[in-house]
C-alpha cells in the first residue's frame, strides 16, 4: 500500500491510498476516512495538480529546497545547545525538540516544555518568522490508563523556497 498526503508539500488538502484492488476496495468501503469525508474541493485539487506540474517542469525548485534544508540543518541542529531535530535530514518539515540533557538539567516537565516552545514561537512571530508548536494533549489529559506513546513537545518548522 502506498499512502501520501497532499496537505504539506502540495499546499492542498487530503491524501491518497494506492495498492492492490483488494486493498483499495477495502479502504474505499471500510475506512473511517471515507465514511466521514467529503470530496476534495476543486481549488485544492487544482492547487495540487499545479504544484506537481511545477515540480515536473522546474526541477531546480527541488534543488533549491534541498539547499534550504541543508542550510537550516547546518544552522540549527548541530549548533544548538537547546534543541535537536527529530526529522529525517531530507525532510522539509523539521520537528525540533528540547535535548534530553536540557530537560534533565533544568527539570522541565511537559507543561514547562510547552511554555518554552510557545515563547520561541511568539518571539519568531515578532521577528516575522512563522513557526508553530506540534499540538498534542498533555499525557495526563488523555485519560488513558496506559500510555503507549506520548508526543514530546516540539516546534514544527516548514521550509519552503
Share of the chain above pLDDT 90, in %: 47
Cβ atoms < 10 Å from Cβ of 97: 20
Q: Within this chain, do residues 138 and 64 fall inside the same structural domain, yes or no? A: yes
For residue 51, what pLDDT band results from cuts at 50, 70 and 90?
confident
Specify whether 104 is located in the same domain as 139. yes
Containing structural domain, residue 21: 2-57
Contact call for residues 159 and 92 (beta carbons, < 8 A): yes
46 and 117, same structural domain? no
Among 54, 40, 57, CA closest to 6: 40
Residues 77 and 143 placed together within one structural domain of the fold: yes
The model's pTM is 0.70
Query: Are 53 and 114 in a shared domain?
Result: no
Into how many domains does the chain fold?
Answer: 2
Assess contact for 98 and 153: CB atoms under 8 A. Answer: yes
Supply the pLDDT for residue 33.
58
Decide if 87 contacts 155 (C-beta within 8 A): no
Residue after which a domain boundary falls, among 39, 57, 75? 57
68-118: pLDDT as tens digits? 999 999 988 678 999 999 999 999 989 999 999 999 999 999 999 999 999
Q: Does residue 122 carry a pLDDT above 60?
A: yes
d(CA 7, CA 15): 7
SS3 at position 29: helix
| CA 129 to each of CA 6, 32, 62, 112: distance values in angstroms, whole numbers, following the listed order | 24, 36, 22, 23
Residues 105 and 39 in one domain: no
Lowest mean pLDDT among 7-16, 112-121, 128-137, 139-148: 139-148
Amino acid at each position: 500500500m502506498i499512502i501520501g498526503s497532499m496537505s504539506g508539500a502540495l499546499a492542498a488538502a487530503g491524501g491518497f491510498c494506492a495498492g492492490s484492488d483488494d486493498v483499495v476496495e477495502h479502504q474505499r468501503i471500510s475506512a473511517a476516512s471515507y465514511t466521514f469525508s467529503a470530496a476534495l474541493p476543486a481549488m485544492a485539487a487544482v492547487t495540487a495538480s499545479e504544484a506537481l506540474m511545477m515540480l515536473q517542469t522546474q526541477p531546480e525548485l527541488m534543488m533549491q529546497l534541498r539547499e534550504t534544508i541543508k542550510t537550516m540543518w547546518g544552522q540549527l541542529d548541530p549548533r544548538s545547545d537547546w534543541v535537536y531535530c527529530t526529522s529525517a535530514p531530507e525532510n522539509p518539515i523539521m520537528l525540533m525538540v528540547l535535548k534530553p540533557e536540557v530537560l534533565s538539567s533544568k527539570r522541565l516537565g511537559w507543561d514547562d516544555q510547552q511554555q518554552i516552545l510557545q515563547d520561541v514561537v511568539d518571539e519568531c512571530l515578532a521577528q516575522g518568522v512563522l513557526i508553530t508548536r506540534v499540538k498534542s494533549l498533555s499525557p495526563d489529559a488523555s485519560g488513558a490508563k496506559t500510555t503507549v506513546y506520548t508526543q514530546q513537545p516540539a516546534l514544527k518548522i516548514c521550509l519552503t523556497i
